[in-house]
Structures are given as structure tokens and as C-alpha cells.
Amino acid sequence: MLILQGMRRSGTTITYDALTQDPQLTCWYEPLAAAKQAAVGGGSGARDVDAFAEVRKAREAFFAERDMEPTDVLNDGAPKDATLEFTGGFPEIVEDYLKYILLRPEPVAAKFTRLYGKVRRVHELFPDAGFVHLVRDPRSVAVSYLFGKGRRYEKKMGPKRIFFGKCSDRSAWSSYPISELILKEYEAENLPAPTDLERVLLVWRYTFEKVHQDAAATYGERSICVKHEAYCKAPQQELDRIYALENRNAPPEAVQWAKQNLRPPSPIHAEGDKRWRRAFDRMGMTELVESVGYSV
């Protein structure tokens, strides 16, 4: 079993996409999302399929076996309720559902963005899994949040005065309510009121720290960190690292798909502007970002 967790807009889907090409794997896309509407291509847009189709079928079967009316109880997290991502665990029915889709005779892989606060409980439920922490340059993540899919807000948000200085309740991918909860977690640090950009960076800091620490403490050598930039540069090498958790080499179908569909990371907006460093400093994450190998 492979469990993939990464912050929203971190390239998690394009990694998951390659795994779906493996004929031996049963793959689950965001099992804790609402999944009510079709998501053609998912977060990456690289595949012309509804990423939620299999999850919806599994939920229907799960409820039918329990003679239950379908509800949104399996939607565990934002935008429904961001506080659910900070509980450290799951309702019993959600745990039963996760066991239902993950504990199967065939190899399974599941991609999540909502598990960052629940790694220890996930380990208790699935101690034999291989855990993959997917990470992307926080500057690229912030640009993706502020510019939106397809960079459709680039003209509006791109001017440096706005990009680095705007403060609002804008909540792309639930960044506002999640960052408000994170500020409470870091209350002792007395962080300054964040800009829109700094809210995304704060989410990156918290989600990275939680997963990095808890995966090391629980899964240990059964966990790896895969940087999106390394995956784009050397997909076979990074896929082999993932599959090594299952004592396999990456299948040629997955490697070939990745090589054909991956693109070099986009240039970072305003790279070199000193306000990036100021934002990292203000959110107390400069040393953390450098320790992961990213520039400040």
C-alpha cells in the first residue's frame, strides 16, 4: 500500500497520475474530498478522466453494504470544514471507509491533501504502508494559489505591490480558514498578521513540519520525501524511490507516462525580489525552507 500526502497545489496529482498507469495498482484520488461533481483531469488536468469516478463508486458500495443513505460524512476537511483537518484523527465511519478502500488483496495507492495532521493515526490504521510526502517549492505553491489554475489571475495579482502586499480574506483552496487555524497553532511565536501570500507560505510551513516530523516518528524508513522539482527532472528515479517502498521497480507504463506528460516547473514570479525573504522571515520559516533545499 502506498499513501501519498502533499499540500494542495504541490504537484500531488501529476505524481498520482503516473501511478494510475500501473496495471497492478488500484488507485484512489482524494478519498476524503466531497467528490460529488466530476473532476476531469483532477488537479493536474493531464488525464481526460473524472478523477473522482472510482471514489464515488466505492462510496456507493460502502453505504449500500451498511444499508445507509449516502451522506457527506466521508468528506473530511476543507472547504466543508477546515477544522476537521486539525483533529488528529477521524470519525469511526471515516476510518471504516478508509479500511474498506485501502485494505484490499491487490496493491493500492491513494493520494491525499488532508492528512497532514493525521499521520500518526494513519500509521496506527495502516502500519505496513509506504508513506510518500510530496513537496514543492513554497514560492511555486504560493504563486499557484494566488494566480489560480491556468494563472488566470496573474494580471490581477501579478504586480509586485499587490503580490507581496495584499491583505484580504481571499481563500483559494481554503487558504484563509486553514491559515487562521494554523496561526493558533503558532500562537506562542506571535507571528505578524499575514498577507495573502504569507498565508499560503504559513500553510506550507505547517503542513510540511507536521508531515515531516510525524512520518519520521511513525513510518521511519517506510517514508520518503519526493520533491516535485526532482520528479520533473528525473521521473524514473523518483518513481523508483516510491515503488521501492513496495519492493518493486517503477513499471515502464508509469515511467513512460511521466516522461511524456511532465513539464519543467514554471519560473517563479518575482524570483530574486527581497520580499520573498522578508515573507519567509515574517512567517518564521527561513531556516526550514533552506533545510529542505529551496531558495529564500
Which residues span the domain enclosing 144? 2-292
Average pLDDT (64-88) is 96
Question: What total number of domains does the chain contain?
Answer: 1
Say how many C-beta atoms besides its own lie within 10 A of residue 88's C-beta. 11
- CATH code where residue 155 lies: 3.40.50
Does the pTM exceed 0.75?
Answer: yes
Query: Does 248 have pLDDT greater than 90?
Result: yes
Confidence of residue 286 (pLDDT cuts 50, 70, 90): very high
Instruction: Name which of 35-44, 200-209, 226-235 the model is least confident about.
Output: 35-44
Query: Does 17 have pLDDT greater than 90?
Result: yes
pLDDT digits (tens, 9 = 90+) for 103-149: 999 999 999 999 999 999 999 999 999 999 999 999 999 999 999 98
Write down the mean pLDDT value for the chain. Answer: 96
Query: Does 156 have pLDDT greater than 90?
Result: yes
pLDDT digits (tens, 9 = 90+) for 254-267: 999 999 999 999 89
pLDDT digits (tens, 9 = 90+) for 269-285: 999 999 999 999 999 99
With a CB cutoff of 8 Å and minimum separation 6, the contacts of 36 are: none
Confidence of residue 26 (pLDDT cuts 50, 70, 90): very high
pLDDT score recorded for residue 277: 97
pLDDT score recorded for residue 296: 84
Query: Does 295 have pLDDT greater than 90?
Result: no
